[in-house]
């Protein structure tokens, strides 16, 4: 592995992943491709504008930069997807198809494609959700994630293209804002808490969802990328559990450090959240590539407040 393209590399996960990969493989060997223009271009070089819905864009970048590995993170997330299902279909399904086809034609070494807990649906068992279970999501985002898992598996079995992925829960981070998902509240709330502003939460106080702190999200995808192929019985659909909590649990934990007000006003995102699991059984990830998270709720909250506080210039 030496020349990596990160599609959606300016996004919430992409920006942390790129920093990590550049430390490991060298700045010039990790190329950011994103439809967005960077705010500070000199800080993100090498960057190239990429629209994954345009197949020729992808082929050109693979050729120009001699890419052998893609982390495909370009996507429209759950809440934004429900506001524009046509765009979500184009980017998440046609975009992924383009990536897989380019990967097949250029015989790439590996393609990492994150799935999501959104792949599950209302009929899925909600607690300790098994890895291999009912996948009948009702959001366009979830449908695109199930399609991605199955297409990735198909390209592996039919063409030997090494596609792998974890099902991420809600990801919490301080360095880049989230991109329009149903778990965004768990990031936004820290900004309000640190500024001692009142936060209006768009989920009910007792809605439990699986969540993960960014360092663990990077650990999961890079561990899976490096796992010996012969150990893998799953490929594109690994559950990864780190912590599960409801908004009120998070509020109580943050209030150990700062006092702030919260009001609960659930909106359309409540229905999406209620169709997802509360916790995941991640036995295959633990057995096949030794997955283990480092952060639970208290450790995550402490680290978030310290780092976001520093970034915003706010004293705890």
Ligand X SMILES: NC(=O)c1ccc[n+]([C@@H]2O[C@H](COP(=O)([O-])OP(=O)(O)OC[C@H]3O[C@@H](n4cnc5c(N)ncnc54)[C@H](O)[C@@H]3O)[C@@H](O)[C@H]2O)c1
Instruction: Provide the annotated active-site residues.
Output: 141
The three-class DSSP label of residue 238 is: strand
CB-based contacts of 299, cutoff 8 Å, min separation 6: 213
Q: How near is the Cβ of 162 to ligand X at its closest, in Å? A: 18
CB of 266 to ligand X, least distance (A): 19
Non-local CB neighbours of 63 within 8 Å, separated by 6+ positions = 106
Nearer to ligand X, 51 or 281 (CB): 51
DSSP one-letter string for 163-190: EE-EEE-EEE-SSS---S-TTTHHHHHH
* CB of residue 73 to ligand X, shortest distance in Å: 4
Query: What does the DSSP 8-state code read for residue 90?
Result: I
Q: 26-65: string of b/e by CB count within 10 Å (b at 16+)?
A: eeebbbbbbbeebeeeeeeeebbebbbbebebbeebbeeb
Residue number, 150 or 258, with CB nearest to ligand X: 150
Burial class (CB in 10 A: 0-12, 13-18, 19+), 198: exposed
Tell me: does residue 171 bind ligand X (CB under 6 A).
yes
Question: Which of 73, 119, 254, 300 contacts ligand X by CB under 6 A?
Answer: 73
Between 49 and 256, CB nearer to ligand X: 49
Instruction: Please work out the total of residues on this chain that contact ligand X, with binding judged by CB under 6 A.
Output: 29
**Residue 81 in contact with ligand X, rule: CB under 6 A:** no
b/e 154-180 (16+ beta carbons within 10 angstroms → b): ebbeeeebbbbbbbbbbbbbbeeebbb
The reply on whether position 10 binds ligand X by CB under 6 A is: yes
Our finding on whether 242 is near ligand X (CB under 6 A) is: no
Does position 162 interact with ligand X (CB under 6 A)? The reply is: no
CB of 29 or CB of 53, closer to ligand X: 53
Residues of this chain, 12-71, that bind ligand X according to CB under 6 A:
12-14, 34-36, 50-53
Site stretch for ligand X (CB under 6 A), options 4-12, 154-162, 228-236, 300-308: 4-12
3-state secondary structure labels for all residues of 39-84: CCHHHHCCEEECCCCCHHHHHHHHHHHCCCEEEECCCCCHHHHHHC
If one asks whether residue 79 binds ligand X (CB under 6 A), the answer comes out as: no
**Could you give the CA distance from residue 172 to residue 16 in angstroms, rounded to a whole number?**
11
Q: Which two tokens stand for residue 23?
A: 């430390």
Shortest reach from residue 57's CB to ligand X, in Å: 8
Residue 193 binds ligand X, judged by CB under 6 A: no
Q: Which of 18, 58, 75, 251 binds ligand X (CB under 6 A)?
A: 75
The binder of ligand X chosen from 81, 103, 114, 142 (CB under 6 A): 114
Nearer to ligand X, 138 or 313 (CB): 138
Q: Are 18 and 83 in contact (CB under 8 A)?
A: no
**Is residue 94 within the footprint of ligand X (CB under 6 A)?**
no
| 11 is a site residue for ligand X (CB under 6 A) | yes
Binding site for ligand X (CB under 6 A): 7-8, 10-14, 34-36, 50-53, 73-75, 77, 91, 95, 114, 116, 168, 170-171, 178-179, 181, 183
């Amino acid at each position: 592995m030496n020349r990596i393209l990160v599609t959606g590399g300016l996004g919430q996960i992409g920006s942390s992943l790129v920093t990590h990969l550049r430390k490991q493989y060298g700045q010039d060997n990790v190329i950011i491709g994103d439809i967005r223009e960077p705010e500070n271009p000199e800080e993100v070089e090498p960057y190239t504008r990429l629209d994954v819905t345009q197949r020729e864009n992808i082929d050109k970048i693979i050729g120009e930069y001699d890419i052998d590995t893609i982390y495909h993170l370009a996507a429209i997330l759950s809440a934004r997807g429900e506001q524009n299902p046509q765009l979500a279909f184009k980017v998440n399904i046609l975009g992924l198809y383009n990536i897989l086809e380019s990967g097949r034609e250029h015989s790439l070494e590996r393609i990492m494609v994150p799935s999501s807990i959104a792949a599950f649906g209302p009929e899925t068992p909600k607690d300790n959700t098994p890895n291999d279970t009912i996948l009948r999501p009702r959001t366009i985002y979830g449908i695109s994630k199930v399609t991605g898992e199955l297409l990735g598996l198909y390209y592996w079995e039919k063409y030997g293209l090494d596609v792998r992925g974890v099902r991420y829960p809600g990801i919490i981070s301080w360095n880049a804002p989230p991109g329009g998902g149903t778990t965004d509240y768990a990031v936004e709330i820290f900004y309000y808490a640190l500024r001692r502003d009142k936060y209006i939460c768009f989920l009910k106080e007792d809605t439990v969802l699986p969540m993960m702190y960014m360092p663990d999200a990077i650990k999961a995808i890079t561990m899976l990328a490096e796992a010996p192929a012969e150990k893998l019985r799953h490929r594109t659909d690994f559950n990864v559990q780190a912590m599960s909590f409801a908004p009120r649990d998070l509020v109580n934990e943050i209030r150990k450090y700062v006092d702030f007000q919260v009001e609960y006003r659930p909106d359309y995102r409540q229905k999406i959240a209620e169709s997802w699991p509360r916790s995941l059984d991640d036995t295959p990830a633990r057995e096949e590539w030794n997955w283990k998270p480092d952060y639970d709720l208290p450790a995550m909250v402490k680290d978030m407040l310290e780092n976001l506080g520093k970034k915003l210039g706010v004293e705890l």
